[in-house]
Structure 1
Amino acid sequence: MNIGIIGAGHIGSALAGRLTSLGHSVYIANSRGPETLQDLARKTGATPVTTEEAAQRGTDLIVVTIPLKKIPDLPKDLFKDVPAETPIIDTSNYYPMLRDGQLPELETGDLTESGWVQQHLGRPVVKVFNNILADHLAQPGKPAGTPGRVALPVASDDAAAKRKVMQLVEELGYDAIDAGTLRESWRQQPGGPIYCNDLPADKLREQLASLGTERTPEQHAGFLANQAKQEQAMAAQGIKL
């Protein structure tokens, strides 16, 4: 496939290396220009391009993996010439203390993180790759049927796009689990039991079922509180995003 990656941070770089190793053509962009991505190109085999070129050349799949607060800064017409059937993956996570500042719609729970992204992009998105550590994502996955194979939740309102993305997740060596609609993607956000815990398929399904589908105010508050504690711990360790 021809895959465009917008964002060359930890997740974008990890995906670039994995996808090129599987034979896909990867076009990767960052906010500073393709000339700053030469080292990454040598390491991964991805082709450095501009943000606009990543959208244009990612004819089969596009990954948007930039800090959440930067989503509104993307060109408003970035996807105007991208075919409607091209899936757009969103990997974002909300880190209000360490990076993003407070976003009112996410603080109140009116929107999920990817719901907020979808509104800004004006295109349906598929939520995946947000709840696995980039260091883990950079390593080869495991063949189907391998005990302990990590499972990744995939959420979207676009059924066809979700199916295509789930096939890619399987190709990368993970069990792809249908995690419902974008409204239900709160279950894989930071602060919850699914986030960065590398669960196998049976345990992931159990967690999804135990959380339910409609987020309660108590669940929203609990996720935010858990995430705040995690961000405080990361800050104490000097971790920066």
Structure 2
Amino acid sequence: MLARVLVEAGYPVSIAASGDPVDIALIVDLLAPGASPRWAEDAIAEADIVILALPLSRFTDLGPEAFVGKIVVDTMNYWPPTDGIQPIFDHPELGSSEIVARHLPGARVVKTLNHIGYHDLADARRPPGDPDRLALMVAADDPAAAKAVAEVVEDIGYDAVVLPTLAAGRILQPGGPYFGAELRRDQIERELLP
């Protein structure tokens, strides 16, 4: 769904899986017309922003060197009932995106797009100024990366509320107070920002 929403917003989108792009070409064409199936290495190398949306059990298969200098959006959620216990993510003092950042030390990790259901992503979009436009939070330690991703969030039909650190993104995780919450920018800012 995210790929389709990004294509509809005018972004060039590449989709990669763990194998040959030919194997996913039909799925890509059906679910995200206009997106291109690619080899993962090529998609990452050519991307300005890389979006991680993969099973957590496969996360450690990613080679950190490919992500050095890249803005990496972590959309993943750690759900032990679904994912099983993933020792790398089963950390009581770190959010899942902080763990992603540790595994990809050269990347500029941003957490967003994980606290809205993928099935709602297309339907909840609204143009700027619409009174029913929802907000998505964007958490990062790198202000420039947060700004770049916030612009994407705005372009796909949501107001972006930037949180000051990647650690602040813990509130967006399953079990956090904003996971699944459908709020407008003014509601979030009133609750969270000084």
Q: Same fold (TM over 0.5)?
A: yes
Q: Please give the secondary structure, in 2, of the residue aligned with 1:143.
A: coil
Q: 1:21 aligns with which of 1, 4, 8?
A: 8
User: Hey, which of these two has a bigger chunk of helix by percent?
Assistant: 1
* Cα distance in 2 for residues equivalent to 1:102 and 1:68: 7
Asked if structure 1 preserves the Cα contact closer than 8 Å seen for 2:112 and 2:136, the reply is: yes
Q: 2:51 aligns with which of 60, 63, 79?
A: 63
Superposed CA offset, 1:164-206 (max 9, x none): 1111111111010012201111111111221112211122234
Q: Please give the secondary structure, in 1, of the residue aligned with 2:136.
A: strand
* Cα distance in 2 for residues equivalent to 1:112 and 1:152: 18
* Cα distance in 2 for residues equivalent to 1:161 and 1:68: 23
Q: How is 1:141-180 mapped onto 2 (pairs within 5 angstroms)?
A: 141-180=125-164
How big is the shift at 1:207? Answer: 4.2
Q: 2:62 aligns with which of 58, 62, 74?
A: 74
Q: 2:188 aligns with which of 204, 213, 230?
A: 204
Asked if structure 2 preserves the Cα contact closer than 8 Å seen for 1:131 and 1:195, the reply is: yes
Aligned partner of 2:44: which letter?
A
Match of 1:48 in 2: 37
Asked if structure 1 preserves the Cα contact closer than 8 Å seen for 2:15 and 2:38, the reply is: yes
* Cα distance in 2 for residues equivalent to 1:140 and 1:192: 21
Q: Compared with structure 1, are the counterparts of its residues 113 and 157 closer, same or farther at alpha carbon in structure 2 (3 Å cutoff)?
A: same
* Cα distance in 2 for residues equivalent to 1:40 and 1:136: 20
Q: Please give the secondary structure, in 1, of the residue aligned with 2:43.
A: helix
The alignment status of 1:117 with 2:105, answered yes or no, reads no
Aligned partner of 2:61: which letter?
D
Asked if structure 1 preserves the Cα contact closer than 8 Å seen for 2:124 and 2:134, the reply is: no
* Cα distance in 1 for residues equivalent to 2:80 and 2:26: 30
Superposed CA offset, 1:119-146 (max 9, x none): 1112220101000100111336111121
Using the size of structure 1 for normalisation, the TM-score is 0.73
Gaps of 5+ in 1: 1-13, 213-241
Which protein shows a greater Rg? 1
Q: 2:24 aligns with which of 37, 52, 57?
A: 37
How big is the shift at 1:36? Answer: 2.2
Q: Please give the secondary structure, in 2, of the residue aligned with 1:77.
A: helix
Asked if structure 2 preserves the Cα contact closer than 8 Å seen for 1:68 and 1:100, the reply is: no
Match of 1:96 in 2: 80
How big is the shift at 1:19? Answer: 1.3
Aligned partner of 2:49: which letter?
L
How big is the shift at 1:107? Answer: 3.7
Q: Please give the secondary structure, in 1, of the residue aligned with 2:67.
A: coil
* Cα distance in 2 for residues equivalent to 1:94 and 1:65: 12
- What is the percentage of aligned positions where both structures have the same residue? 35
Aligned partner of 2:8: which letter?
S
How big is the shift at 1:112? Answer: 1.2
Gaps of 5+ in 2: none
